[in-house]
Structure 1
Amino acid sequence: MNPKNWQLSFFRREQRSLFGEILDWMLTPLLLLWPVSLALTWLVAQGLANKPFDRALIYNAQALAQLVKLSPDQQRVQFNLPQPASELLRADDADLVYYQVIGPKGEILGGDRDLPQPQEDEKLGSYEVKIRDDEMRSLEVRVAYTWVQLASDKSPVGMGPVLVQVAETREKRSVLATEIIKGVMLPQFAILPLAVLLVWLALVRGIKPLSELEERIRARKSDDLSPLDEKAVPLEVAPLVSSVNDLLGRLKDSIATQKRFLADAAHQLKTPLAGLRMQADLAQRKDASEEELKHSLKQIGRASVQATHTVNQLLSLARAEGGGAIDLQSCDMEALVSEVLHDSLPRAMDKGLDLGYDGVDTDSKRRFLKVQGNPTLLKEMIRNLVDNAIHYTPSTEERIGVITVRLLVDPYSQALAVQVEDNGPGIAAAERERIFEPFYRALGSNVDGSGLGLPIVREIAQRHGATVSVDVAHPGQTPPGACFTIRFARASNKFKTNMASGSADL
């Protein structure tokens, strides 16, 4: 296996299901929070279970503290616990209860010696009860303790504090906490699967519009490029549907362009190909003379040139009408115009035309001659204007045809314009818009042409954000001539007027 292919297959991300992705992100937090809920419930249950038993423990400690008295001679501390009270204190079926009374000198006045004492810094005020957790005989116990301060007549300060403690094991508390947890957790075991089921059903219902959208798209015919209904989908899916509609619109335009190109190609190639076939049939006649054969071959050559020109024009129009983005770069219009004029000069000289160039005259204007565009398309645009002028401008000994290509710059708006002016028959005002339609040719022109040059010019100009206009080159003269202007930016009124009159003085 190719190592490169292995790396690509290794790092290729597995296709994920949107339904599964959403389900994972919804159930994973739920399942992770469930153990946390168990832990919190356990802590809350422990607190709830401690409260009632702690109150009973505090009551017992206070009751024992009341039994601590001074002896009649007020020289010592006495603790007398009646037998019924002792039996009642220890009467607990679930837990073991311990108590302890320690005198001022540390002597045991009653109870269990093994019960641990609190820290010295935990001494409280008289009869103030506090609760702590401790351990006795390897058993966890809950201890309530208080300090009793006794004062005698002989010693108002007292004989020192007496420690009273009552402790019990935690069996009842554990049982109660367990019951609380069971009461809370057992319903969750039934609710959790129900919650998962409801989440699954909600997701199924939530993505149903996507399934319906998929069904509507699959049910469409292959030639149905109408936009999808954005109002029939949720708001979150509307941007996706809008993007699909935009793609369908561009695809529809592209298909329409291809169909128009095929129709135009079939229409335009039909005539020259029919002529080729007719001339070939004439040349193959047995009784054809040598002059007739030469004439047929000449017509065949002319028809083939016309067909080649038509095909090239159709390909240029198809390239100009392409819906894709064009490769933009900085283009020097002066250099592009010079290349076009250099290529077109032999044809102009063969027809006896005066082909000239009128460029900018200052360096301050020359720096605005660069535009962002595709150099191939821009040259095609200028070449079609120049070829159109060469094609339709007559030249005789009495009146020589003159074609001038200009570059105009407005230093205020930084607008750039390309003009192609001639002294030919001109274009009637009623036809100045129609000449940019494919295959349209001005009435009264006896010159062969495909009618595609000017549509190519307008299409390329529009793709570069420019506009094309045609005006009279020499008002009041006969013939008036024509002046085509391509503007690459919005120019001022003065600039438009000067360009229309053919003046380069801004």
Structure 2
Amino acid sequence: MPTPNLRRQVSLWLLLPLVALLALDAWLTYHRAMSAAHVAFDRSLSFSLKSIREGTRLQNGQIEVDLPYLALEMFESDVGGKIYYLIREDGGRAVTGYGDLPLPPRRDTPEPYQTRFYDATYRGQELRMAALRLPVHDVPTAQTRVAWIMIGETIEPRQALAREILIGSLTQEAMLIVLALAIVWLGVGRGLRPLNRLSATVAARADDDPAPLDEAGLPREMKPLVESINQYIARLRRMQESRRRFFTDAAHQLKTPLAVIQAESELALRETKDERASLHLKRLNGAVRQAGKGVQQLLSLSRLDADSGHRVKLGTLPLDKVARSVTLDWSPVARARNIDLGFEQEGSVEVVGQRDLLSELCGNLIDNAIRYAGDGSVITVRVAKTSEGALLQVIDDGPGIAPQERDAVFERFYRSAATSSVEGSGLGLAIVREIARVHHARVTLDDAPGGGLIVSVTFEP
């Protein structure tokens, strides 16, 4: 699912109602434009009616009209508008024009000398009509007749004017909307700068940095968020400290009685003459020794976890000397099992690390090789400098590890079926991986030439 963009969301939520408002405004603008067009063109119709009225007279009892063509020419339009007119006697004959032009509705019948505007349909066309009832007098004969003067115009010119007004208005408003969205886009981006700076600060923090975030210079709206993050960091720090204290206390409480049991079992083993009791004491001593080592390994893992909060101070040190020293420490164990444990180095090799952790890493690799390669095997510890960085290798000629299990062996407590009979807890390689992570190194497993296993730890240059 794509990550939502706040600036895009804000702009979209503003755009939708603005488009709806633009549609509503377009509808209102068009009706206002039509009303304005009616007012303008109705004045022309009224002027034409007055011009025709001045040429209307009663002569010999008949209504006659001198039609002023100038009054009709002024209605000519570039958009194809048409003019229809009619002068007729009230209830009588048509004097001139289109005799079937519709009269105004009865309820809209104008008073004498008053102009009435109305809408009508004529020959399938919509017309805007202007009608005038005009009493015409013949003074010498004292006769009076009522004449209807009507002029109709198709509404195309009015619609064209309304569309022109509408397009101009919509163009202006669309430009304003685009400008408003650009301002919102820039404004939201500027407003998000403190949040982006906060995000960059959090991303740049070390994994084990427990310090609270600085609230100085942040907008008031962001301070609750920073306070919540700081409260979470404080809770997390308290949980980490509680867990470290638990492991430390548990290890301390377990190490002492285990050491006492181991010492007592060794003492009893030396003093007993009973073979069956001696056998049980040997098993007890081995189990206690394994339990003590397991406690120590669990304590190491608890300190090395990425979320433990434990900060490791790294410095430059000679990897070759550390590995040589650890190899010498394990030499008595190897000789007791008739194992040829050797050390090779190619020049002086330095890394950035912590001596005790690197010693533990190297010791775990040698311990695993001694356990699983078996009596009479050959184990070589090798240190070299390569183009990829410093390299530490432990090579044995034992049974090796199947390719499909090489990822699983780094999981805690994992024991393959092939090595289940060998004494161990399944924590050695897990500790190696965590120490390598702390030192920004990677661990790989490969087949040794002629059989066996090569464990390689490559440190970044």
TM (normalized to structure 2)? 0.50
- Partner residue of 1:421? none
Query: Among 191, 195, 204, which residue is 2:189 paired with?
Result: 204
1:267 deviates by: 3.3
Distance 1:21 1:89 in 2: 58
Distance 2:157 2:130 in 1: 16
Contact 2:131 2:149 in 1 (8 A): yes
Which deviates further from its counterpart, 90-99 or 207-216?
A: 90-99
- Partner residue of 2:120? 134
Distance 2:247 2:202 in 1: 28
Given residue 119 of structure 2, which amino acid in structure 1 is its aligned partner? D
Alpha carbons of 1:240 and 1:223: their partners in 2 closer, same or farther (altered >3 Å)? same
Query: Among 102, 110, 120, which residue is 1:116 paired with?
Result: 102
Q: How does 1:452-491 map to 2 (within 5 A)?
A: none
Structure 1, residues 390-425: CA drift from partner, whole Å, max 9, x if none? xxxxxxxxxxxxxxxxxxxxxxxxxxxxxxxxxxxx
Instruction: Give the paired residue count.
Output: 277
Which deviates further from its counterpart, 182-191 or 140-149?
A: 182-191
Partner SS for 1:33:
helix
- Partner residue of 2:15? 27
- In structure 2, stretches of 5+ residues that fail to align are 296-461
Alpha carbons of 1:30 and 1:177: their partners in 2 closer, same or farther (altered >3 Å)? same
Alpha carbons of 1:289 and 1:169: their partners in 2 closer, same or farther (altered >3 Å)? closer
- Partner residue of 1:166? 151
Distance 2:263 2:160 in 1: 112
Match status 1:58 vs 2:46: yes
Distance 1:81 1:136 in 2: 25
Q: Higher relative contact order at CA 8 Å, sep ≥6: structure 1 or structure 2?
A: 2
Match status 1:143 vs 2:126: no
Match status 1:244 vs 2:229: yes
Given residue 132 of structure 1, which amino acid in structure 2 is its aligned partner? Y
Distance 2:137 2:184 in 1: 71
Contact 1:77 1:103 in 2 (8 A): no
Given residue 263 of structure 1, which amino acid in structure 2 is its aligned partner? T
Given residue 86 of structure 1, which amino acid in structure 2 is its aligned partner? Y
Partner SS for 1:210:
helix
1:248 deviates by: 1.8
Contact 1:42 1:181 in 2 (8 A): yes
Contact 1:62 1:129 in 2 (8 A): no
Match status 1:45 vs 2:33: yes
1:21 deviates by: 3.0
1:195 deviates by: 4.0
- Partner residue of 1:429? none
Match status 1:265 vs 2:250: yes
Alpha carbons of 1:68 and 1:77: their partners in 2 closer, same or farther (altered >3 Å)? farther
Given residue 46 of structure 1, which amino acid in structure 2 is its aligned partner? M
Alpha carbons of 1:126 and 1:219: their partners in 2 closer, same or farther (altered >3 Å)? same
Structure 1, residues 39-65: CA drift from partner, whole Å, max 9, x if none? 333323222223222112112223434
The structure carrying a bigger strand percent of its residues is 2
1:151 deviates by: 8.1
1:80 deviates by: 3.0
1:123 deviates by: 0.9
Contact 2:86 2:96 in 1 (8 A): yes
Given residue 264 of structure 2, which amino acid in structure 1 is its aligned partner? Q
- Partner residue of 1:97? 83
- Partner residue of 2:241? 256
Contact 2:29 2:166 in 1 (8 A): yes
Q: How does 1:79-478 map to 2 (within 5 A)?
A: 79-81=64-66, 85-90=68-73, 92-94=75-77, 95-149=81-135, 161-188=146-173, 190-230=175-215, 232-285=217-270
Distance 2:62 2:225 in 1: 89
Distance 1:276 1:251 in 2: 37
Distance 1:92 1:146 in 2: 18
Structure 1, residues 420-446: CA drift from partner, whole Å, max 9, x if none? xxxxxxxxxxxxxxxxxxxxxxxxxxx
Distance 2:107 2:75 in 1: 32
Distance 2:75 2:242 in 1: 98
1:159 deviates by: 6.4
Alpha carbons of 1:109 and 1:231: their partners in 2 closer, same or farther (altered >3 Å)? farther
Structure 1, residues 239-294: CA drift from partner, whole Å, max 9, x if none? 433333322222111111111222222333343333333333433445x899xx9x
Partner SS for 1:52:
helix
Alpha carbons of 1:188 and 1:131: their partners in 2 closer, same or farther (altered >3 Å)? same
Distance 1:116 1:142 in 2: 11
Distance 2:184 2:248 in 1: 57
Q: Percent identity?
A: 31
Distance 2:17 2:258 in 1: 75
Distance 2:2 2:99 in 1: 71
1:108 deviates by: 1.8
Distance 2:162 2:57 in 1: 38
Partner SS for 1:224:
coil
Alpha carbons of 1:105 and 1:45: their partners in 2 closer, same or farther (altered >3 Å)? closer
Distance 1:274 1:175 in 2: 103
